[in-house]
Amino acid sequence: LSQDNLTEIIEFVLLGFADMPHLQWFLFGLFLIIYIIILMSNGTIFLITKMDSALQSPMYFFLANFSFLEICYVSTILPRMLINIGTYKRRISLVACATQMCFFLLFGGTECLLLAVMAYDRYVAICNPLHYSLVVNRWVCIQLVTGSWTIGIPVMIGRTYQIFSLLFCGSKQINHYFCDIPPVLKLACGDTFVNEMLVYILSVLFGMVPFLLILGSYSKIISIILKLPSATSQAKAFSTCSSHLMVVVLFFGSAIIAYLRPNTRHSEGTDKMLSLFYTILTPMFNPMIYSLRNKDVIMALRKLLCKKLT
CA-to-CA dists, residue 307 to 140, 160, 172, 296, 310, angstroms: 33, 46, 53, 17, 5
pLDDT of residue 2: 46
Position 263 scores a pLDDT of 63
Query: What's residue 299's pLDDT?
Result: 84
Domain range list for the chain: 11-309
Per-residue model confidence (pLDDT) at position 162: 92
Looking at the DSSP bridge assignments, the partners of residue 100 are: none
Distance of CA 106 to the CA centre of its chain: 10
Residues 260, 251: Cα–Cα separation, whole Å: 14
Nearest-angstrom CA–CA distance, 7 and 1: 10
For 117, residues 6+ apart whose C-beta sits below 8 A from its C-beta are: 62, 144, 145, 148
pLDDT of residue 293: 66
pLDDT of residue 264: 56
Fold entry, domain 11-309 = Rhopdopsin 7-helix transmembrane proteins (1.20.1070)
Task: Quote the DSSP letter at residue 21.
Answer: G
Per-residue pLDDT of the chain (310 residues; tens, 9 = 90+): 444 444 567 789 998 888 888 888 999 999 999 999 999 999 998 988 888 877 888 988 999 999 999 999 999 999 999 999 988 888 999 999 999 999 999 999 999 999 999 999 989 988 888 889 899 999 999 999 999 999 999 999 999 999 998 888 878 899 899 999 988 988 888 788 888 888 889 888 998 899 999 989 988 988 888 887 777 777 776 776 777 787 788 888 888 888 877 665 456 677 788 888 889 988 998 888 877 667 778 888 888 778 766 6
Please give the pLDDT value at position 227. 81
Distance CA 111, CA 207 (A): 10
- Alpha-carbon distance of 216 to 79, in angstroms, equals 37
Give me Rg for the CA atoms of the chain.
Answer: 21
pLDDT at residue 229, as a whole number: 77
DSSP string, 240-286: HHHHHHHHHHHHHHHHHHHHHS--SS--HHHHHHHHHIIIIIHHHHH
How high is the pLDDT of residue 129? Answer: 87
In the chain the first and final C-alpha atoms are separated, in Å, by: 72
Q: What is the pTM of this model?
A: 0.90
Are the CB atoms for 61 and 143 separated by under 8 Å?
A: no
